[in-house]
Amino acid sequence: MRFSARREDRRNVAVGFVSLMAIMTAHSVMETARDTLFLSSLPAAELPRAYLTIALLAIAELTVHRRVLARVPDRRSLLAASLVFGSLVTLACWALLEELGPWAPFGFYVWTGLLITVVLIEFWLLLGDTLTVTQAKRVFPAVAAGGVSGAVLGSLLSEGLLRLVSPAGLVPVAAATLALAAATAFLWKVEDDRRVDLDHSSMDRRPSLAWLLRDGYLSRLWTLVLLGTIAVTLVDFVFKSTVAQNIPVTHLGPFFARFYLGLNTVALVVQLVGAAWLLRSFGAHQSSGLLPLLIFGCAAGLVLGPVLPFAVALKAVDGGLRHTLYRSAVEILFLPLESRRRERAKGIIEVLGHRVGQALASLLIIGAIALGLSARQLGLVLLLLSCGWLAAIASTRWRYVDQFRSRLHVRALSRWQSTEPDTALVLDDAALEHQLRSSLLRVVQLLQWRAAIEGNGAVETTDVELLREALRHKERAALEQTFSLMARQQPGENFVLVWRGLCSGDPRLQAASAEVLEASLTGPVREAILAIVDDGDPAARRARIASTALGATTRPISYQEARDAMRDTLPLRNSAEPLHSPGKDRSDSF
């Protein structure tokens, strides 16, 4: 697959990749150690109590953490401090494992859950502050690939070290890796205008469940996170309890190391082969729905088929998608929110979504154990949870797009004059469709000319500069006509406002406009427009994708052909005369 990022974003992509790889390497090593130590010392029936303890402590910890977030302007310092503190506490856990007796693995299990919760919140908040939604669809899968690579590396490290040391010997290795990860925090590049504004009035307002439930979009995000957390916690219990019943205690360490190695390798393949393509082709909603859909299928197998294979399959699906495609998709669902609102929402959803969901799942499992329910019967519960989870994801679709529409309208009221599409000219549907297609094909032709001129290997000349300037003018005029035609075709959508967002020069408004286009258009026009406005791709690729969507064919053209086609442009002006219209925003893309 192809990961792409603009030159100015490559540093953060590289730092994010390495940082998440180190964090997940440490977590993977700790995960192997904690599962082996726990199931070697305690019965699997104690797992839901561990889940419940993690949930309750996380609620208290995240309440404190939210206050810290509100007072620390530089998230890089916060991430580094958390990783160093996590490394020191992990070393302390290792030193006390033998002294605390059989319940030490219980405490270590709880600590690993708390640590990864806090660190990942800080990491994704920091990454989200550096990107727009459009960039995130490209960059998040690349960064998430670092996390999966780290998980594979951690599994390999665990599998090799267990040949030399006991499971407890893995703990100091994880602590050292966390300390190394802290060194990457200060390599992030964060623009001043994207840092958290500590003087914002929202700092004085405490986020609450009532505040969240009043917001139609945030309440739906909370519901999908809550149901998803209950489902994956139940999956984890079904897997580990089934393994504990079927694998001898002496073989648990090697089994978990090899299983997590295979699992993380599959996740890496998924990330490299399809995550970014799925996000760009199907969007965050359909991509996030893949995990609950596959869990539904595996749960059906658990109910109807052999228990051990489908319990393993459930965990494989969870581990293969939750921290890769699903995590990237859900993080994108938060990006329409402004930085302060996103921070408040993520804090409360982490507490009342992830952790309350984990607590509810723990109580559900404790009740199931008390009633003597089997893994097959828990599979029925998973079927119901998966259906609710899918419904919650689907319910956020249009609310998500409305967040971008709202951002465009707020900007329009503050800066732009209100502009309505010109609907005086009445055209029937067929004529509109024909004109829209012709207008799009004209843009494709101009993109081909641009590709030929930009690919010219000759020395830069005044003619080349004039041709580039003329092309920007012509592309802008052709696209403006295209958006005017779309506004006539769909009067309910303000495409004029969307066009102004694309031309604003503000990356976040441009991303908002692209998201509205993705949601409101259908068919070949949608694919063509999205390719055309995606200025992260070369002009030749944009022209090829757009023409294919429209059912047309293109051929490479030479610089001389493009210059001849633009021959009538050069005499129109001299180098002192601007081609763009006065008073309009200028964009290098259009």
Ordered per-residue pLDDT tens for the chain, 590 residues: 444 555 656 777 888 889 889 999 999 899 888 888 888 888 888 888 888 888 888 777 767 766 776 676 677 888 888 899 999 999 888 888 777 777 788 888 888 888 888 888 888 777 776 666 666 666 777 787 788 888 889 888 988 888 888 888 898 999 999 999 888 887 877 665 444 444 444 444 455 677 788 888 888 889 999 999 999 999 999 998 888 888 888 788 788 888 888 888 888 787 777 777 777 777 777 888 999 999 999 999 999 989 889 999 999 888 888 877 888 788 788 877 776 777 778 777 877 788 788 889 989 999 998 898 888 999 999 999 999 999 999 888 777 777 776 666 555 444 444 444 444 444 566 777 778 888 888 888 888 888 887 776 544 556 667 777 777 778 888 888 888 888 777 776 777 777 777 777 666 677 777 777 777 777 788 788 878 887 666 778 888 888 888 888 777 777 777 777 766 554 444 433 433 333 344 344 44
Please give the Cα distance from 495 to 378 (Å, whole number).
49
Residues 311 and 430 in one domain: no
Q: Is 578 inside a domain boundary?
A: no
Please give the Cα distance from 252 to 36 (Å, whole number).
6
Residues 550 and 454 in one domain: yes
pLDDT of res. 55: 82
Q: Is the pTM of this model over 0.75?
A: no
pLDDT of res. 190: 66
CA atoms within 13 A on the CB side of 570: 12
| Closest of 354, 281, 365 to residue 322, by C-alpha | 354
Please give the Cα distance from 292 to 358 (Å, whole number).
17
- Three-class DSSP labels, 515-533: HHHHHHCCHHHHHHHHHHH
Q: Is 126 inside a domain boundary?
A: yes
Residues 217 and 133 in one domain: yes
152 Cβ contact list (under 8 Å, min separation 6): 28, 261, 264, 265, 267, 268
260 Cβ contact list (under 8 Å, min separation 6): 28, 31, 32, 151, 154, 155, 158, 319
Q: Is 577 inside a domain boundary?
A: no
Please give the Cα distance from 441 to 536 (Å, whole number).
20
424 Cβ contact list (under 8 Å, min separation 6): none
Count of helices and strands (H, E) across the chain: 24, 0
Q: Is 284 helix (H, G, I), strand (E, B) or coil?
A: helix
Please give the Cα distance from 118 to 66 (Å, whole number).
10
Query: How many degrees, rounded to 5, is the angle at CA 419 between CA 415 and CA 425?
Result: 165
Residues 271 and 361 in one domain: yes
Please give the Cα distance from 357 to 350 (Å, whole number).
9
| Closest of 573, 552, 367, 315 to residue 445, by C-alpha | 552
| Closest of 350, 389, 32 to residue 228, by C-alpha | 389
Residues 548 and 469 in one domain: yes
In this structure, what DSSP letter does residue 187 have? G
Please give the Cα distance from 119 to 63 (Å, whole number).
15
Residues 47 and 91 in one domain: yes
Domain termination residue (choose one: 349, 365, 395): 395
Q: Is 95 inside a domain boundary?
A: yes
Q: Is 496 inside a domain boundary?
A: yes
| Closest of 153, 178, 172, 182 to residue 28, by C-alpha | 153
pLDDT of res. 460: 52
Please give the Cα distance from 361 to 113 (Å, whole number).
15
Q: Is 586 inside a domain boundary?
A: no
339 Cβ contact list (under 8 Å, min separation 6): 128, 129, 194, 196, 197
Residues 538 and 474 in one domain: yes
Evaluate whether 485 touches 432 at the Cβ level (below 8 Å).
yes
Residues 223 and 253 in one domain: yes
Residues 386 and 442 in one domain: no
Evaluate whether 237 touches 99 at the Cβ level (below 8 Å).
no
Domain termination residue (choose one: 341, 361, 395): 395
| Closest of 504, 524, 512 to residue 134, by C-alpha | 512
Evaluate whether 30 touches 341 at the Cβ level (below 8 Å).
no
* Block residue for tokens 């859909």: 293
Q: Which domain holds residue 464?
A: 413-572
pLDDT of res. 303: 92
Q: Is 405 inside a domain boundary?
A: no
Domain termination residue (choose one: 364, 395, 426): 395
Residues 440 and 342 in one domain: no
Residues 175 and 264 in one domain: yes
Number of domains in the chain: 2
153 Cβ contact list (under 8 Å, min separation 6): 21, 25, 28
Tokens linked to 471: 């092309």
Residues 220 and 339 in one domain: yes
| Closest of 467, 490, 519, 322 to residue 421, by C-alpha | 490
CA distances from 89 to 83, 174, 223 (A): 10, 11, 33
Q: Is 585 inside a domain boundary?
A: no
Please give the Cα distance from 451 to 408 (Å, whole number).
31
Tokens linked to 200: 């914002």
pLDDT of res. 386: 94
Q: Is 40 exposed, middle or buried (0-12, 13-18, 19+ CB in 10 A)?
A: middle
